Amino acid sequence: MKTLHWIVSRGFTLFFLGLSIIAVVALGYDSHTLMLWFLLPFYGISLLAQTLMPKVKKPLENGELTTDLVSNGVLMVINSLQNAVLSAVFALGSSSLLIQLGWLDPHYGLSNAPLWLQVLVGIMLLDLFFYITHRMAHEIPFLWRFHSVHHCAHRVTFMNAYRAHPLDAMFRRFVPLFFVLLTGISEQALVATAVIGSVLATITHLNMDLKHGWLNYLIGTNEVHRWHHSSRYDEAKNFAVIMLWDHLFGTFYYPRDRDMPEHIGLVNERHFPLHHYGKQLLIPFRWRRLKRRQAGIQRIEKPSDMITGNR
């Protein structure tokens, strides 16, 4: 059993990343077939694996599972909307608005490049703008009101990877996608980019005891991404999935003396609807009221604990 644990903990990520590339080619770059025969089985295996090899072992909090299930259901609706938009875009003949408007010669569209290069550019560009929008969601107070929903959970798991306010989710999905489409990427390359990206995004949130070694410095593994969910400002970094952007912009954080933040979640979670999806939808619009209630309680209990920042 120990041998199997050692193999899985060190090989899980690389195995499924490699398998995602094989699946994309073998299944003919068909998004529906890939979802049915690769992504859904991968999600099921990931859920089972984190149940059998959990990093954090503790019972579910009241309302936690229901909130995550509803959140995932809403994200499925957003995915359907995204797929409908993409189908309409590619039906125009080119994914690039610049080409459609005549501002870019079709010969310069990314679709003219080799498929492997299109996928590489697609992944890097998508993640660059994901890094930008994700960091904006943390550092711009108005956007943090929405993104705080994603950070209110007390652990990082497969189930809450898609716990997000729908407006926050659409902002951080559609903006990066828009800039990738401007390049004129082909539909095949975009499908490959999406599948590989989905595998990486899932791994970042797995509540599994995985050991990635040098890979932690290249991609946003779950070992690295746990620190992003720390309630401490100086630890809540690692905004990208491809760590190149965090290295370049000085936001990479991976301490070697410990493997978990002391606390995962919000700085101040008093009165925040941690596990109530309906109230989470409203929290960005009731933010000032929330902060007044939190400040009032802290003044009564301990003046030195006054709220700092927007989190």
Note the pLDDT tens digit of each residue in 120-134: 999 999 999 999 999
pLDDT band of residue 305 (cuts 50, 70, 90) is very low
Task: Kindly state whether residue 79 falls inside one of the protein's structural domains.
Answer: yes
Task: Kindly state whether residue 166 falls inside one of the protein's structural domains.
Answer: yes
Can you give the C-alpha Rg of the chain in angstroms?
A: 20
pLDDT band of residue 101 (cuts 50, 70, 90) is confident
Average pLDDT, the chain: 91
Task: Kindly state whether residue 62 falls inside one of the protein's structural domains.
Answer: no
Residue numbers of the domain that contains 207: 2-56+67-305
Beta carbons of 87 and 190 less than 8 angstroms apart: no
Task: Kindly state whether residue 61 falls inside one of the protein's structural domains.
Answer: no
- Over 50: is that where the pLDDT of 143 sits? yes
The domain total for the chain is 1
Residue 95 to residues 13, 110, 139, Cα–Cα distance (Å): 31, 10, 31
pLDDT above 90 coverage of the chain, percent: 79
Task: Kindly state whether residue 311 falls inside one of the protein's structural domains.
Answer: no
pTM: 0.91
